[in-house]
């Protein structure tokens, strides 16, 4: 086999690597799945999208922290190096190809030529290095720092060629960059790094930042110099409507054109029957789960965590709460993703065993059990409330605090909770998801919830990411899930969502996939336009 291997595509976690040869495809080019020009609607209408909350940071270095930031900024101002195809396979975006060394520790990225930022500056490998250096700089506190923990160094090869040197082999490294870690013109910033207050973000994307009314809306206008051609929309408005039912009413009245996946389940039948609305749904990858606190000191932490698992009563409580919203989860990745283990089952409800384990771990009957939940997504506080009620009925002093995600971090990082009811957006592959959720680089941080520190688990994740054999990859994924849920008892899986996007029929070109959060308006599968406006 030649010294170089090329990543061709990933489909729901599966992948293909082929030896480099003489053809242009075999020289390292990922098969292009997107056109270099965007369709232009006859009338460039306005698209109004309802979102739960306002944008918190328009800065591409910081914007990975919330779903809303990703939804707004990654659909408009910013492009990524790679994007997602219809079957969640990797496709080129600002990068044309990714070529690995034989040992999978060096990845060389060929960039697209003649792409410009909205300020007219040419996009080159210097910009890629500047952005990734900013992601990796701990002073910036970027949420992407941990995702890039395997990067040993970055290197400019030439104007349109860039290289990542890794610490450990990774057969899927380009997927770490897929629809995330977006590129901006850092040279244009006053600070040369993070956006200063009031500064306008500058990227290579299809739409430009126009204006913001805090707490109300953010507006974008076309980037008519976009490298794929003129964008099909004349204006994009993200309207903040915190209450899901209010967003449904606005959609039915035609005040908004789309709701970005925070549809109340009770509204689904009504939306399905409305002739002016199309309800698109897909098996989602967002996990709603309860973290065990791996920082908190107990007499025996393992017994406490296992005891809590036996008292969660997941198989009874979850279906009653969520209905058709999604399936119960027995592990941290969805069942459709390669690496999901069908043998891993939800813990049975066993009060006797749970109470015995809690007492052995240091929490006797009457002892305090603290629950913390976010209330910005469906059912998490409802689930936590049901668990609290059950614990109280068993004689425990179960205390619950439900907090908006905006104020959650300070409470979270005090680590006074025993169970954290939380959600995490999915990733294109199980290996990437595990590394970003449970890797040592994440766990070592003192400001997040990923508090498990297990070198054995990290070794399994490393093997998973380094294998090019799909069967071995899936088998290792099953071992990782078992380690997290059964051996370490670090996670109490709850449920996955179904991704629901109700849209007015005048909206054209929207395709839904499990990873549609990213590149909602313009990625490999979406070319959204509005007719009749």
pLDDT of residue 2: 34
Q: Which of 202, 191, 37, 25 is nearest to 96 (CA)?
A: 25
Comparing 138-147, 169-178, 490-499, the range with the smallest average pLDDT is 138-147
Is 273 a residue whose pLDDT tops 90?
yes
Is 205 a residue whose pLDDT tops 50?
yes
Fill in the DSSP letter of residue 178.
Answer: B
Is 186 a residue whose pLDDT tops 50?
yes
Judged by DSSP in three states, 3 sits in: coil
pLDDT of residue 19: 28
Comparing 41-45, 151-155, 210-214, the range with the smallest average pLDDT is 41-45
Q: Is 519 left (phi over 0), alpha (psi -120 to 50) or beta?
A: left
Compare 106 and 449 and report the one with higher pLDDT.
Answer: 106
Q: Could you tell me the CA-to-CA distances from 215 to 53, 54, 196, 237, 238 in Å, in that order?
A: 7, 5, 19, 13, 11
Task: Work out the pLDDT band at 93, boundaries 50, 70, 90.
Answer: very high
Count of beta carbons in the 10 Å neighbourhood of residue 113: 12
pLDDT of residue 325: 83
Comparing 126-135, 227-236, 318-327, 340-349, the range with the smallest average pLDDT is 318-327
User: What values do phi and psi take at 474, rounded to 5?
Assistant: -65, -40
pLDDT of residue 5: 37
How wide is the angle at C-alpha 523 spanned by C-alphas 518 and 524, nearest 5°? 125
CB-based contact 452:301 (threshold 8 Å): no
What token pair was written down for 318? 């979850």
Task: Work out the pLDDT band at 257, boundaries 50, 70, 90.
Answer: very high
pLDDT of residue 300: 96
Residue corresponding to tokens 């990796």:
136
Alpha-helix runs per DSSP H in 102-257 = 125-136, 173-176, 244-253
Contact partners, residue 284, CB within 8 Å, separation at least 6: 326, 334, 426, 496, 497, 498, 499, 514
Is 513 a residue whose pLDDT tops 60?
yes
Contact partners, residue 520, CB within 8 Å, separation at least 6: 49, 71, 74, 75, 260, 526, 528
Is 449 a residue whose pLDDT tops 80?
no
**Rounded to whole angstroms, how far apart are CA atoms 14 and 470?**
6
Helix axes 301-311, 380-393, angle to 10 degrees: 100
Task: Work out the pLDDT band at 398, boundaries 50, 70, 90.
Answer: very high
- Burial environment of residue 315 by CB neighbours within 10 A (0 to 12, 13 to 18, 19 or more): middle
CB-based contact 314:331 (threshold 8 Å): no
Task: Work out the pLDDT band at 7, boundaries 50, 70, 90.
Answer: very low
pLDDT of residue 516: 63
What are the pLDDT digits (tens) for 285-323?
A: 889 999 999 989 999 999 999 999 999 999 999 999 988
Strand pairing class (46-51; 258-259): parallel
Is 100 a residue whose pLDDT tops 90?
yes
Count of beta carbons in the 10 Å neighbourhood of residue 414: 10
**Rounded to whole angstroms, how far apart are CA atoms 459 and 60?**
31
Q: Which of 231, 318, 167, 233 is nearest to 530 (CA)?
A: 233
Residue corresponding to tokens 């709701």:
259
**Rounded to whole angstroms, how far apart are CA atoms 152 and 140?**
18
Residue corresponding to tokens 């629901």:
500
pLDDT of residue 34: 43
Residue corresponding to tokens 């036996």:
310
What are the pLDDT digits (tens) for 167-182?
A: 999 998 998 898 889 9
* pTM (predicted TM-score): 0.79
Q: Could you tell me the CA-to-CA distances from 414 to 212, 234, 441 in Å, in that order?
A: 33, 46, 20
Domains of the chain plus CATH, in order, are 4-203+505-530 (3.90.76.10), 284-497 (3.10.105.10)
Comparing 85-89, 327-331, 484-488, 513-517, the range with the smallest average pLDDT is 513-517
Fill in the DSSP letter of residue 522.
Answer: B
Is 33 a residue whose pLDDT tops 50?
no
Judged by DSSP in three states, 16 sits in: strand
Task: Work out the pLDDT band at 363, boundaries 50, 70, 90.
Answer: very high
**Rounded to whole angstroms, how far apart are CA atoms 259 and 52?**
9
Q: Which of 233, 277, 261 is nearest to 47 (CA)?
A: 233
What token pair was written down for 44? 């460039």
Mean pLDDT score, 84-109: 91
Task: Work out the pLDDT band at 22, boundaries 50, 70, 90.
Answer: very low
Q: Could you tell me the CA-to-CA distances from 307 to 54, 361, 486 in Å, in that order?
A: 39, 8, 12
Residue corresponding to tokens 């004349």:
234
CB-based contact 131:121 (threshold 8 Å): no
Q: What value does the mean pLDDT of the chain take?
A: 86
Compare 192 and 382 and report the one with higher pLDDT.
Answer: 382
pLDDT of residue 519: 74
**Rounded to whole angstroms, how far apart are CA atoms 237 and 519?**
15
**pLDDT over 90 percentage in the chain:** 61
Q: Which of 134, 153, 112, 122 is nearest to 59 (CA)?
A: 134
pLDDT of residue 11: 28
Mean pLDDT score, 213-241: 95
Task: Work out the pLDDT band at 62, boundaries 50, 70, 90.
Answer: confident
User: What values do phi and psi take at 111, rounded to 5?
Assistant: -95, 155
**Rounded to whole angstroms, how far apart are CA atoms 276 and 152?**
52
**Rounded to whole angstroms, how far apart are CA atoms 84 and 425?**
15
Mean pLDDT score, 490-511: 92
pLDDT of residue 409: 62
């Amino acid at each position: 086999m030649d010294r170089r291997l090329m990543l061709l595509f990933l489909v729901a976690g599966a992948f293909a690597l082929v030896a480099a040869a003489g053809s242009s495809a075999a020289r390292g080019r990922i098969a292009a799945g997107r056109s270099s020009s965007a369709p232009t609607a006859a009338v460039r209408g306005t698209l109004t999208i309802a979102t739960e909350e306002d944008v918190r940071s328009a800065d591409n270095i910081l914007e990975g922290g919330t779903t809303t930031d990703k939804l707004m900024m990654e659909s408009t101002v910013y492009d990524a190096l790679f994007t997602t195809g219809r079957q969640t396979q990797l496709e080129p975006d600002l990068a044309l190809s990714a070529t690995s060394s034989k040992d999978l520790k060096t990845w060389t990225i060929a960039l697209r030529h003649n792409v410009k930022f909205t300020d007219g500056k040419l996009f080159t490998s210097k910009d890629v290095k500047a952005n990734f250096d900013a992601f990796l700089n701990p002073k910036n506190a970027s949420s992407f720092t941990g995702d890039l923990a395997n990067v040993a160094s970055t290197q400019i090869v030439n104007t349109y060629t860039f290289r990542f040197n890794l610490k450990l082999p990774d057969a899927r490294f380009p997927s770490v960059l897929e629809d995330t870690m977006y590129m901006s013109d850092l040279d244009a910033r006053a600070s040369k790094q993070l956006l200063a207050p009031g500064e306008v973000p500058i990227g290579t994307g299809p739409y430009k930042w126009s204006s913001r009314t805090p707490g109300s809306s953010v507006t974008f206008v076309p980037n008519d110099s976009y490298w794929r051609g003129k964008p099909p929309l004349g204006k994009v408005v993200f309207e903040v409507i915190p209450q899901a039912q209010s967003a449904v009413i606005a959609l039915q009245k035609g005040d908004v054109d789309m709701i970005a996946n925070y549809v109340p389940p009770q509204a689904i039948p009504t939306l399905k029957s409305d002739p002016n609305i199309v309800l698109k749904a897909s098996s989602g990858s967002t996990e709603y789960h309860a973290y065990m606190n791996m920082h908190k000191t107990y007499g025996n932490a393992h017994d406490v965590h296992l005891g809590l698992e036996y008292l969660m009563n997941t198989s009874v409580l979850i279906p009653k709460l969520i209905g058709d919203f999604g399936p119960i989860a027995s592990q941290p990745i969805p069942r459709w993703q390669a690496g999901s283990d069908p043998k891993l089952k939800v813990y049975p409800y066993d009060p006797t065993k749970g109470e015995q384990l809690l007492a052995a771990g240091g929490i006797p009957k009457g002892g305090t059990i603290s629950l913390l939940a976010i209330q910005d997504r469906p059912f998490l506080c409802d689930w936590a409330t049901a668990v609290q009620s059950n614990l109280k009925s068993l004689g425990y002093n179960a205390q619950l605090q439900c907090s908006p995600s905006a104020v959650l971090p300070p409470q979270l990082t005090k680590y006074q909770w025993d169970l954290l009811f939380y959600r995490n957006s999915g990733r294109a592959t199980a290996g990437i998801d595990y590394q970003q959720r449970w890797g040592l680089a994440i766990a070592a941080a003192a400001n997040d919830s990923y508090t498990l520190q297990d070198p054995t688990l990290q070794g399994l994740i490393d093997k998973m990411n380094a294998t090019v054999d799909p069967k071995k990859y899936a088998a290792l994924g099953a071992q990782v899930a078992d380690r997290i849920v059964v051996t370490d008892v670090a996670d109490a899986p709850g449920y996955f969502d179904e991704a629901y996007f109700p849209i007015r029929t005048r909206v054209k070109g929207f395709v839904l996939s499990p990873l549609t959060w990213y590149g909602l308006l313009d990625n490999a599968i979406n070319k959204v336009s509005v007719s009749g406006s």
